[in-house]
Amino acid sequence: MIEVKNLSLRLGEFHLRDISFTINDGEYFVILGPSGAGKTVLMECLAGLHHVKRGEIWLDGQNITRLAPEERNIGYVPQDYVLFPFLDVLGNITFGIRLRHGTADTISARVQELGRLLGIAHLLGRDTRSLSGGEKQRVALARALATSPRVLLLDEPLSAVDQRTAKSLRLELKRIHRQLHLTTVHITHDLMEALQMADRVAIIQKGVVQQVAPPEEMLFHPGSESVAEFIGAPNILDCDTSRQLGQGVVEVDCRGLKLSVPHEGTGRVAKVAILPRHIYISETRPPGLSVNGFQAVVTAINPAGTTVRIWEEVKEKALMVEVPSYIYEEMNLTVGREVFVILRMRRIRCYEART
């Protein structure tokens, strides 16, 4: 268990203010916040890379605030991996175990185990500079895991790879987490990534932790206005029935509004949520068949900064849509006007009924 108590740190332009939270054993904990919020500095404090003068960090009942990084046994995967260029893949992975004077047999057994776990057995002899982004990520992960750390820290692990790789890495990180049951701290600025991966999410803004909660609670009950603002006040719909369509897609009936939603679980979907910016609005009917496309009526328009919020009624349900103001200006929307909306299927989040 990690406990951060009243941690404050000023580092150049970053200022962490009175940060306190607890991470449970085996938890997948995501620290979410916009860039410049102090996420990386906070993670570096956990790794022991900054001298913390105010506040304390405890790990499994031990005060580690003053411990050097090498005394903490916390695995750290930096954002751009920082693989040692003078060592090949094998050399990188075994760097930490060799320091601990592992025997040739234990080292080779560990390497094989990690090679299987991460699917990188075929890369061992390669120069790290010739690896793709996803491969580098896996090697950096293997290097951090090789010493059997008590905690794994992942700094924006999916931000430097392309979308397809990010998707497979996301699944892989969850699988590895399930398999190893290793307490994992993952930082990201991507809300969807946090909601998909986290057991619990901590939202950090301007060096202050705003809320620590499971993703569902964060989405449905944002703890403060700034959290609600950051998350973007999602449209939440209650669902009556759900029906498997196959290939991870489920059809839900939200009191008359039939939606196709991505859902891997087996339980009944009780609620779905979609952010206002993930709903498209059009004045004309979109050509062809569209999944989750509906006719709607504009009920209110509210310009807010660089975006315009439009409320509309779809089959007696009120939905909020957000469009950038430059797009709004090109449209001819008035209250009472009929429009067409598409709810982007892949952006809809589902929550199963609690049993």
User: By the criterion CB under 8 A, which residues form the site for other proteins?
Assistant: 44, 47-49, 68-70, 72-76, 78, 82, 84-86, 95-96, 99-100, 143-144, 147
The Cα–Cα gap between 230 and 233 comes to 8
Cβ proximity to other proteins: between 137 and 211 the closer is 137
Cβ proximity to other proteins: between 100 and 122 the closer is 100
- 206-212, long-range: CB < 8 A, 24+ apart: 206/15, 206/37, 206/38, 207/14, 207/15, 207/16, 207/17, 207/19, 207/37, 207/38, 208/17, 208/18, 208/19, 209/19, 209/20, 209/21, 212/21
Task: Sort strands 200-205 and 28-32 into parallel, antiparallel or unpaired.
Answer: parallel
Q: How far is the CB of 77 from other proteins (least distance, A)?
A: 9
Q: How far is the CB of 89 from other proteins (least distance, A)?
A: 15
- CA angle centred on 19, ends 74 and 42, rounded to 5°: 40
Closest by Cα among 20, 158, 27, 143 to 92: 143
Cβ proximity to other proteins: between 114 and 269 the closer is 114
Give the DSSP H/E element, type plus range, for residue 230: helix 225-231
- The residue type at 263: H
Cβ proximity to other proteins: between 4 and 43 the closer is 43
At what angle are helices 104-118 and 163-180 packed, to 10 degrees? 130
Collapse the DSSP code of 209 into the 3-class scheme (helix H, G, I; strand E, B; otherwise coil) and give the result: strand
DSSP letter for 234, please.
-
Q: How far is the CB of 201 from other proteins (least distance, A)?
A: 24
Q: How far is the CB of 69 from other proteins (least distance, A)?
A: 4
Q: How far is the CB of 147 from other proteins (least distance, A)?
A: 6
Cβ proximity to other proteins: between 151 and 314 the closer is 151
Cβ proximity to other proteins: between 185 and 218 the closer is 185
Q: How far is the CB of 83 from other proteins (least distance, A)?
A: 9
Residue 171: count other Cβ atoms within 10 Å of its Cβ.
12
Cβ proximity to other proteins: between 140 and 203 the closer is 140
- Two tokens, residue 180: 């190893």
Q: How far is the CB of 60 from other proteins (least distance, A)?
A: 17
